[in-house]
Chains A and B, each alone.
Chain A
């Protein structure tokens, strides 16, 4: 992934539409043109992925070339002369768009990506109003087999972004092209339902899809129904990464923190209690931190690996099931929240847990799968009833006529709405590690941290490493995000070359801020902006260490007893299932 800042390279002088442009060596025409402010339309190109040059929308005239060239793939060289909007170029783009539309299920108003569709926008830009190339259309039934992702091949334009993100970024590769020519289809091996494939349901494909061929399974109707049911007590939790991303759905620039507006919006939707997954993130740190210390001191399986990311969990269950013992037994914060809400909180608030509905707002499509895992019922009920994505919540708000940008800031409800800075950084890669270190350091050394910030585990680097001295015991840690990076660490564990004690793995690039349930589009810039916001949010919190969260302290005093105690073990820990490749 091209996320790090480009190295200093030689300048290349080119001409675009008669204007002199300075590009850099190694850039494509598209990159140089966009930097210089020339807008060349694209469809299959995505900054996270390698170049396919399949859609042929970004074609330009290159002086001396026999045919039009794909700007996304063509490397610039000194003296290159490019024209981006000649009659031939416009004809080519328009005809190729018309061809795509001629084999596209055009039902824009009832499409998941209506008004946020790259094809729709281009069709409008190119004034395509009447279909000129009608003919046979390929047809395949949509795949609704998983609880997370819907694949609708009739909307697919075969840009291959989903294929490439699945292979290159996630190292999963459950979808790919089959057949040839007009019959070509993106699908699974033997056209099996996705549910029967080792798909981790991360939803990264959805975030890359330019059209409505991939979208999340929608649970908003079930949530509306619960909210409308007077017998139900509906509580909601919001994942750390939501507050720095949902604003984008309302036209607010990426990287804007809207925590208060989010709480206000949820309250206006009618949730009985507006709580925060950040609370259970703090709880996770306490449990997981103690688990690590126990493994370190009592000789458990090391390195221990975090278990917050359900896409990651499904990945290791499919592909590295021999390494399951390395996983922390802690449930994810979403599930810890559900278990605590339906036991501790229900009792405290005097609500029959059978009447309680727990809804979680997640940046993630795999969370829908996680909350439906059969073992997630330690409260005596399904711990979390519905996990909906950032995008689904935005739709609910819009349906209710709520414009997030116009709302006042409100507070989360007590006690499960209390949290710390350590919890909010769970939303970014390295955040769990940093939060854990803040607690573990103080638990082990019994001293206050000199500096709260572990900068080595922050940032977009695919794999980050650090060593922390806990009074003579050096703890080596590693952080990976994006499952292709996870593979590198897991292979090291397998071959015995990993000398880490603790590893954080997040399925999605940049962590939950880049989750498969987050607003579309995504790009390195957008994720960087969300990440900066996460750390700003941490900085403005009064309490920034999980073990200092008073609500957590009360929870242990009133209910759980001690970390890793019997109740914790029952409610907050789980086991894993090998699933086969």
Chain B
């Protein structure tokens, strides 16, 4: 019976990923629904192989239009049939949505994930039913085999393969045509071809998808190879963990035999080829060709030394050609479409495409096939959709557990054999694992090393014992027991393993360690020297993720637990141990603690910042003032001068006063508080809060002298001769970078920090009607929103990159948007327009994104001819702040860095001059309030030690008391308690505080959301302590 002419084809993905998400049920429901609606003669439902977009599974494509639905469940099927197949409409809720705009994209070809892909090996995957040879044939399958047997001699085939430039996709990248030729030339009548399908990398599923989605592509490729090489028999060595692949291969071989495409005298050509499947038992090392051969022969899967290579002496001692699945899948298209076509794709020395299994911290997890030469960044950002939750990209591991990682500076590296190798990674068979800032690179290296050394065959010394010893060293480092000489030892072991192991497994086992040591040595050193895991991963070194993320090491666990129990005064005491500014930080802290909160991985992070604010507000409400305690009764003699009354200086003054030192703070401005007072607008930080917290420091006996400019009113020499035993310079970064464009000197142009200072000091009460702000940081947003509040009719923010790249806090950007501020992304000012020194507008240029820069963001490049004008009478420039070091005479011993900051010992904050210290933005460059407070505290410790003749560089570990018990953790998802916010229409006309605080009930409810992840860390620490056995003891 002839097939009916179907008007629509519904392709349901039956790959492993989608099957795991329930695609089989979707497929059955679709068939059932189509039958029930009487559409069986009009609509054909086809199960296909993997379409690659696994994170969106189960996926479905409906032809002829190519409508793409994702995350389809069986319940959705009736609606799809009714809407799309009957009425011809798209079901909007099942479309793929762009991550940023949330715009639904109806068609397969529009989705960026597929946009930069080019599918050769995966040509049929997801388009045909892999269990039907007719579908493969309908797509041009076995034409290449026919062509070869009818028109080409084996030499012609070898020639075509060599000219195509195809290199082995299993990892080593040997020229396929040349390998075939070597096997053909090897003496002997009996020869074999083998397909290596022993894919075993964690997270890799390239070969699996090809075998499951298009098994005939491998069968045809092997038949062509066998003809060219002179082999009569072939083996597909497939791991037994791939039952679906084996099932479909068996069907494919059977069908090919039935069609006369395998077996005796194929297509009457006289060429015979028999194909067998061998199931491997799951040893990773059997992916090594000599071990694979041993395994097929029934021996233990162990590599043997080469030469002789399998092309000379392989399976049962006969010449044998081994290629991996993807290599074989590329053969038929090369024959059909010609070597020149294939060679036109890719780079000079890496032709064609490569399939990658893209996994890890990337939005679009799945299987992709890309032309060689595409950059790592293109794959991660354009195809992969970037990193979820606006996290920082850290590295991408290519080549699986035997590959290496590429850091942010490698995003422009082209993906081809030679570029990856020279960058310290490898192509491998195509695993690509993306990691973000929350990944500890030491732990990451340890993960792969654990795998590789576990999979060692145990035959040769360096691999068997070297890998184990490296793992032990890494384990010690992650447990905080590492020594600096361990790094030398790791490198020595890595060198010897790489240099002397018997096979590639052993030679490449150290690669992850080598590459992380190369690119992330600072993380190793942080573990060893500072006993700190910067990513907050290593149990032995992490008390809680919030505590670990805070530059100050705030004891969030304890005060959160106390708030939940209603013990607010105790909670406040805990906060004040670390931080004299709870009210300020409770309002303006960037709250790294929340960004890393464990609960954030379940629903949303605990509102730690608001909890701190609650405590401060509660105290003020209860007592009418803030107290940091009483002045010390017995004062010490040594006086300390602090220059600059910003958060760093005041924090230092606070701790020094607590230690009994008389402290005088000199401030150039008429008010104390530094950037807190003159940088942050009142609607974010009410002046009253700042004043009461500074008053509390004054109450400890700290003297603050305002209107006294360092360098002119008072100098370093003055202070040191006037009886100050130590001086702390904490003058901040109040200078502003220039745009460097024509017209910048015109009236109406003002620097962002200058503008905010004028506003905050009450010196400026009006702005222009149309204001343009340039920049993407918090200063830019603060300036824009302040301008709006001062009466500007229109405020435009011009930023040269994209929204995601903005350094400003997400909430601030959103607030600004809500208030009606207009954002112009990928836009840069080129000229200030005006007449008679008075500006009338800003000429801007549109930008496009180029290569990635060192920060991991794409570099904006001007688009010529895209200029346009924003009419404006005011331009606020907020593209960066700098420290002003003009206060320092050139020869007083305090030295500047090339970044325009003061050079200090990063631990002790000692400058080049005896008794002089520096802290805050003047050391770090513009940073956050909490970092300034942390620096102030460390400076105080150093000064105190200095004045008492103690060792400044001695460890500064602080004991963190954890809650021993507390309220039980609520189960499941619990919504975050949101503080009230003023309505945008109301707030944009006043400087009233936008964000409200928690009530006591809200605070207790929010604090109770804490997952107490520290209990888990503590438990693991106890386990580690139990396990760790002194070295050398069994």
Q: Which of B467, B468, B496, B1029 contacts A95 (CB 8 A)?
A: B496
Task: Check A100–B502 contact: CB distance below 8 A.
Answer: no
Task: Check A91–B469 contact: CB distance below 8 A.
Answer: no
- Answer yes or no: B498 CB below 8 A from chain A CBs: yes
Task: Check A180–B454 contact: CB distance below 8 A.
Answer: yes
Given A137-B1034, A139-B1034, A181-B454, residue A67 in contact with residue B465 (CB < 8 A):
no
Q: Is the interface of A mostly helix, strand, loop or mixed?
A: loop
Task: Check A56–B500 contact: CB distance below 8 A.
Answer: yes
Task: Check A158–B459 contact: CB distance below 8 A.
Answer: yes
Task: Check B1031–A135 contact: CB distance below 8 A.
Answer: yes
Task: Check A91–B467 contact: CB distance below 8 A.
Answer: no
Give chain B's interface residues, CB within 8 Å of chain A.
Answer: 283, 285, 300, 302, 304-305, 307-308, 453-469, 472, 489, 492-493, 495-496, 498-502, 507, 1029, 1031-1032, 1034
Cβ contacts under 8 Å, A176 to chain B: 300
- Complex Cα distance, B492 from A114, in Å, reads 30
Q: Which of B308, B455, B459 has the most CB of A within 10 A?
A: B459
Task: Check A99–B469 contact: CB distance below 8 A.
Answer: yes
Cβ contacts under 8 Å, B468 to chain A: 103, 135-136, 181-182
Listed by A's residue number, 8 A-B pairs whose Cβ atoms lie within 8 Å are: A67-B498, A95-B492, A96-B496, A99-B466, A102-B469, A103-B468, A177-B300, A180-B455
Q: Which of B283, B300, B463, B1032 contacts A134 (CB 8 A)?
A: B1032
Task: Check A181–B456 contact: CB distance below 8 A.
Answer: yes
- Chain A nearest CB, measured from B473 CB (Å): 8
Query: Beyond the given A179-B458, A180-B456, A182-B467, could you list 7 further A-B residue pairs with CB under 8 A, ordered by the A residue number?
Result: A56-B462, A74-B307, A102-B465, A136-B1034, A139-B1034, A177-B459, A182-B458
- Complex Cα distance, B501 from A70, in Å, reads 9
Task: Check A177–B458 contact: CB distance below 8 A.
Answer: yes
Task: Output the nearest chain B residue to A53 by Cβ-Cβ distance.
Answer: B305
Cβ contacts under 8 Å, A52 to chain B: 459
Given A67-B507, A70-B305, residue A99 in contact with residue B458 (CB < 8 A):
no
- Chain A nearest CB, measured from B488 CB (Å): 10
Cβ contacts under 8 Å, B459 to chain A: 52, 54, 158, 160, 177, 184
Give a binary string over A51-71; 1 marks a CB under 8 Å from any B CB, 0 the rest: 111111101000000011010
- Complex Cα distance, B773 from A535, in Å, reads 106
- Chain B nearest CB, measured from A171 CB (Å): 16
- Chain B nearest CB, measured from A26 CB (Å): 12
Task: Check A56–B460 contact: CB distance below 8 A.
Answer: yes
- Complex Cα distance, B468 from A184, in Å, reads 12
- Chain B nearest CB, measured from A174 CB (Å): 15
Task: Output the nearest chain B residue to A57 by Cβ-Cβ distance.
Answer: B461
Q: Which of B453, B460, B496, B1031 contacts A53 (CB 8 A)?
A: B460
Cβ contacts under 8 Å, B456 to chain A: 180-182
- Answer yes or no: A75 CB below 8 A from chain B CBs: yes
Q: 3 shortest A-B CB distances, which residue pairs? A: A184-B458, A73-B305, A181-B456
Task: Check B461–A56 contact: CB distance below 8 A.
Answer: yes
Task: Check B472–A136 contact: CB distance below 8 A.
Answer: yes
Cβ contacts under 8 Å, A182 to chain B: 453, 456, 458, 464-465, 467-468
Q: Which of B285, B464, B465, B499 has the most CB of A within 10 A?
A: B465
Cβ contacts under 8 Å, A73 to chain B: 305
Task: Check B465–A100 contact: CB distance below 8 A.
Answer: yes
Cβ contacts under 8 Å, A55 to chain B: 460-461
Q: Report, as a range, how many residues of chain A touch the other chain.
A: 35 or more
Task: Check B305–A181 contact: CB distance below 8 A.
Answer: no
Task: Output the nearest chain A residue to B452 by Cβ-Cβ distance.
Answer: A181
Task: Check A181–B467 contact: CB distance below 8 A.
Answer: yes
- Answer yes or no: A189 CB below 8 A from chain B CBs: no
Task: Output the nearest chain A residue to B301 by Cβ-Cβ distance.
Answer: A180
Cβ contacts under 8 Å, B507 to chain A: 67
- Complex Cα distance, B460 from A88, in Å, reads 18
- Complex Cα distance, B462 from A92, in Å, reads 9
Given A91-B496, A92-B499, A96-B461, residue A180 in contact with residue B283 (CB < 8 A):
yes
Task: Output the nearest chain A residue to B459 by Cβ-Cβ distance.
Answer: A54
- Chain B nearest CB, measured from A23 CB (Å): 16
Q: Which of A68, A103, A132, A177 contacts B465 (CB 8 A)?
A: A103
Q: Which of B469, B496, B1031 contacts A92 (CB 8 A)?
A: B496
Task: Check A53–B469 contact: CB distance below 8 A.
Answer: no
Cβ contacts under 8 Å, B453 to chain A: 181-182
Q: Which of B455, B456, B464, B1034 has the most CB of A within 10 A?
A: B464
- Chain B nearest CB, measured from A545 CB (Å): 48
Task: Check B460–A132 contact: CB distance below 8 A.
Answer: no
- Complex Cα distance, B691 from A3, in Å, reads 97
Cβ contacts under 8 Å, A99 to chain B: 461-462, 465-466, 469
Cβ contacts under 8 Å, B1029 to chain A: 136
Cβ contacts under 8 Å, A350 to chain B: none
Task: Check A180–B458 contact: CB distance below 8 A.
Answer: yes
Q: Which of B468, B495, B1029 has the most CB of A within 10 A?
A: B468
- Answer yes or no: A38 CB below 8 A from chain B CBs: no
Task: Output the nearest chain B residue to A75 by Cβ-Cβ distance.
Answer: B307
Q: Which of B308, B493, B498, B499 has the most CB of A within 10 A?
A: B499
Task: Check A181–B464 contact: CB distance below 8 A.
Answer: yes
- Complex Cα distance, B455 from A177, in Å, reads 14
- Answer yes or no: A225 CB below 8 A from chain B CBs: no
Given A92-B496, A132-B489, A177-B300, residue A51 in contact with residue B305 (CB < 8 A):
yes
Cβ contacts under 8 Å, B492 to chain A: 91, 95
- Chain A nearest CB, measured from B154 CB (Å): 28
Task: Check B460–A134 contact: CB distance below 8 A.
Answer: no
- Answer yes or no: A133 CB below 8 A from chain B CBs: yes
Cβ contacts under 8 Å, B464 to chain A: 158, 181-182, 184
Task: Check B461–A100 contact: CB distance below 8 A.
Answer: yes
- Chain A nearest CB, measured from B605 CB (Å): 40
- Complex Cα distance, B500 from A74, in Å, reads 13
Cβ contacts under 8 Å, A88 to chain B: 499
